[in-house]
């Protein structure tokens, strides 16, 4: 009887594991694996529960949409990769963006500044964003930020429009 329970739990775990791994951006996981060993790389994972204690956020930025989106984030992954000879090339960055499109990400916006472009792409299904990836090049490297959770696509759209209006 005990062996049957163990086998059932193991089978359940193995069947759920692929679903959990799909929640993360495959292309970003590949970048992480390729460059994590470099001394100049940096990574940080922040749990959603840390964000839910949002009293440390600037209250001027917090409106209902922003607060709801923050509350719906399960995890944030931040990863910085060096550019150039020992890091990512411009071609690899371009290929990464193309790979995101292959993973059914849609581009929400680009934020253009003096130092370049910051791209914001999202994977959405049934009006819920489960994966939001932001990335851009700086002088010292490429920064990637991934938000995982169940975020309302309309609220993210309104936040993006506010950002675009602020940039003008």
Q: Kindly give the parts of the chain with pLDDT less than 50.
A: 1-22, 165-168
Question: What pLDDT does 109 receive?
Answer: 87
Question: What pLDDT does 157 receive?
Answer: 81
Please state at what angle helix 153-167 crosses helix 64-71, rounded to 10 degrees: 130
Q: Which residues contact 100 (CB under 8 A, 6 or more apart)?
A: 25, 27, 121, 133
Express each pLDDT in 61-79 by its tens digit. Answer: 567 777 788 788 889 899 9
Q: Rounded to an integer, what distance in angstroms lies between the CA atom of residue 64 and that of residue 15?
A: 37
Q: Rounded to an integer, what distance in angstroms lies between the CA atom of residue 153 and that of residue 150?
A: 9
Question: What pLDDT does 53 receive?
Answer: 64
Question: What pLDDT does 58 receive?
Answer: 54
Question: For the whole model, what pTM was predicted?
Answer: 0.75
Please tell me whether residue 93 adopts helix, strand or coil conformation. helix
């Amino acid at each position: 009887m005990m062996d049957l329970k163990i086998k059932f739990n193991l089978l359940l775990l193995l069947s759920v594991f692929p679903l959990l791994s799909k929640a993360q951006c495959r292309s970003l996981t590949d970048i992480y694996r390729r460059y994590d060993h470099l001394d100049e790389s940096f990574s940080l994972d922040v749990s959603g529960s840390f964000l839910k204690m949002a009293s440390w956020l600037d209250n001027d930025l917090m409106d209902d949409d922003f607060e709801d989106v923050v509350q719906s984030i399960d995890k944030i992954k931040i990863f910085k990769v060096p550019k150039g000879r020992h890091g990512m090339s411009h071609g690899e960055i371009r290929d990464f963006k193309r790979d995101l499109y292959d993973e059914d990400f849609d581009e929400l916006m680009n934020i253009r500044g003096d130092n370049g472009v910051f791209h914001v792409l999202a994977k959405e299904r049934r009006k819920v964003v489960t994966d939001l990836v932001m990335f851009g090049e700086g002088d010292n490297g490429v920064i990637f930020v991934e938000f995982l959770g169940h975020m309302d696509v309309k609220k993210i759209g309104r936040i993006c429009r506010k950002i675009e209006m602020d940039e003008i």
